[in-house]
Chains A and B, each alone.
Chain A
Amino acid sequence: MSDLNTVTAAEAPGGQPNVPHGPVKKDKPRSLAGDAWADLRKRKIFWIAVVLVAVVLVMAAWPTLFTSADPGACALANQYKGATGGALFGFDYQGCDIYAKVIYGARNSITVGVLATLLAGVIGLIFGLSAGYFGGLVDAILSRFIDIMLGVPFLLAGIVLSNRLSSDPKSNGIFAVTLTLGLLSWTTGARVMRSAVISAKNQDYVAAARMLGSPPARLIFRHILPNSIASFIVLLTLLLGINIASEATLSFLGVGLKNGAISWGIMIADGTQFARTEPWPLVWPAIFLGATVLAFIMLGDAVRDAFDPKLR
């Protein structure tokens, strides 16, 4: 933060050999986004992530494409029965079709994850832009507030807040968890946006635009936002993965989704209890949750690497 006084090293090339660092082609100048896309297209990890994300999204939107079974139809007679025709993964302790439940679990995960991330994105964008653009007192207050938020470990705050928000004993907890994650996870985005705006504000071209009489709103939207929005969107992709994981964690601890709402987190919690007798009711939802989070993190990671040539 502003407390660090680092003496930055001069960026002289020193003894670097004078070799062109890229292909010397005479084609038209490419934009950063164009370069990033050209780089992304060549990455295997990016395509694996895209395919995984697409599958999960389709699963969330049209679960009936994957299974015709009703995840709520459980019969104790089926307890721990092995795989049969439709029920590929067998049945759990309560005799529910594990495959159907896992498929339907994607919907809640994605809904909570996407909505919470959008909420966090909006809050982060507004707070970050204002803190960075106005500076001074606004920045001081917002920065202190973020410090306070970061003073409590994320998961702890999430547990307390989610528990408090879902005090209605009949609710399924989806609203409470979404709100909790949205309200707690915007801080990183706000910080990224704030520092991006501050560094953009000090650029010569922004100073020049201001001297030419460009109004503040135009400055923000024409000059500052386009230069910092890429990293912000990448951050949101990563955050989406983290929020899906957090939903599962809260549900796992009993303060997330509840009252019959299907969640991979609850399935893992139930599966853990009886893992000694039958491991599969634990293993399948764990694999699906892991793969989904991994897909979003890989996607965000690949896009970030592509947009940040320094990290290549």
Chain B
Amino acid sequence: MFRYIVRRLLQMVLTFFGATFLLYALVFANQKDPIQALVGERPVTESQRIALTQRYHLDEGFFMQYWYYMKGLLTGDFGTSLTGRKIVDMMADAWPVTLRLALIAIVIAATFSVTVGVYSALKRGGLFDNVSLVITLVLLAMPIVVIAPLFQLIFGIQLGWFPPTATRDATVWQLLLPAIVLACIVIAPEMRVTRTSVVENLRADYVRTARAKGLTRMRVIWVHVLRNSLIPVVTLIGVDLGGLMAGAIVTEHVFNIPGVGFNLARAIRTEDGPLVVGFVSILVILFLFINLLVDLLYAALDPRIRYE
């Protein structure tokens, strides 16, 4: 187990540097005028040019620039946005909002998909099952650019059940509708996996054994079917966290939530390179750690799996 974790961490380091390098190259390599790109639309004086060249090592090779950037990143220096703000400060504002949003979304998605998925599996072939299968199919296909504006229009503007946009402090109440939108993109796969897994386990030989042991139906389902069925669901929910982070870009844009996705979308439109690379690097690290945690969680939940 220890060796497995060490190996995974080494792989993560490789993936991290690979991904951030690709990203860094995409944003900064072969720019026509890198100095102009660093300050945005403002005019640049010659002395500023010299200062920026020195600060960003623009006179050195591209690899060196990446190297210096990573050194800064790993010591907590994310640089400065084109807006002049420290990127670290912007992250400190944005991350809590996005994490809160993602957390609410995960709780909604998990509660809904597990309840409905299990019930469908127990009543498979029935009306409820068929209706929920059709709904998952529609949900599965709806892109977030369709769901987010439509939900905002219907539930926020027309019906007025939820606030249609968030303010700077982004309260839980304001985040509820965007979280439902985010949840929609992961509900369908989670529900499908839950249903398939429960159906499979209901047919398993050990469930027959549990019935032969004279256990009540409730005990058979709760203890012998669900425990086994939820292993793949739990891991899927973990993986979905990464998907939610990406989905947050559109959702936060639509609902005007000052989180990571909102900042990123703006940074990309205003070509704010340092901001983009800084935010995405942190996202990549988060993504990798979640994947590792999910694999470890899998081993913890299923005694048959051992890593070596």
Residues of B within 8 A of A289 (CB): 143, 145-146
Partner of A156, one of B138, B153, B246: B246
Interface residues of B in 119-171 (CB under 8 A from A): 137-138, 140-146, 149-150, 152-153, 157-158
A220 at the binding interface (Cβ < 8 Å):
no
Find out whether the CB atom of A151 lies under 8 angstroms from the CB atom of B269.
Answer: no
Find out whether the CB atom of A151 lies under 8 angstroms from the CB atom of B15.
Answer: yes
B74 at the binding interface (Cβ < 8 Å):
no
Find out whether the CB atom of A160 lies under 8 angstroms from the CB atom of B141.
Answer: no
Bound Cα distance A37, B143 (Å): 29
Find out whether the CB atom of A294 lies under 8 angstroms from the CB atom of B253.
Answer: no
Residues of A within 8 A of B242 (CB): 153
Bound Cα distance A286, B149 (Å): 9
Residues of B within 8 A of A297 (CB): 137, 140-141
A39 at the binding interface (Cβ < 8 Å):
no
What is the 8 Å Cβ interface bit string for chain B, positions 17-28, against chain A (1 contact, 0 not)? 011001100110
Find out whether the CB atom of A293 lies under 8 angstroms from the CB atom of B142.
Answer: yes
Knowing A156-B264, A268-B145 are in contact, say whether A151-B304 is a contact too (CB < 8 A). Answer: no
Q: Which stretch (A2-10, A20-28, A79-87) binds chain B? A: A2-10
Interface residues of A in 246-289 (CB under 8 A from B): 246, 248-249, 252-255, 265, 268, 271-272, 275-276, 279, 282-283, 286, 289
Question: Closest CB-CB distance, B201 to chain A, in whole Å?
Answer: 12
Find out whether the CB atom of B141 lies under 8 angstroms from the CB atom of A151.
Answer: no
Residues of B in contact with A, size category: 35 or more
Find out whether the CB atom of A290 lies under 8 angstroms from the CB atom of B26.
Answer: no
Bound Cα distance A148, B16 (Å): 7
Residues of A in contact with B, size category: 35 or more
Residues of B within 8 A of A7 (CB): 304
Knowing A249-B145, A289-B146 are in contact, say whether A151-B18 is a contact too (CB < 8 A). Answer: yes
User: What 5 A-B pairs have minimum CB-CB distances, sorted nearest first?
Assistant: A245-B143, A148-B18, A153-B246, A294-B141, A151-B19
Using A151-B18, A249-B144, A290-B146 as known contacts, list a sample of 14 further A-B pairs with CB atoms less than 8 Å apart, ordered by residue number in A. A4-B305, A6-B305, A144-B18, A145-B18, A148-B15, A148-B19, A149-B19, A152-B284, A156-B246, A159-B265, A164-B26, A268-B146, A289-B145, A297-B137
Name 25 A/B residue pairs within 8 A (Cβ), A-sorted: A4-B307, A5-B305, A144-B11, A147-B18, A148-B14, A148-B22, A151-B284, A152-B19, A152-B283, A152-B284, A153-B242, A154-B246, A159-B268, A160-B268, A163-B268, A164-B26, A246-B143, A248-B145, A271-B149, A279-B153, A279-B158, A290-B142, A293-B141, A293-B143, A311-B196
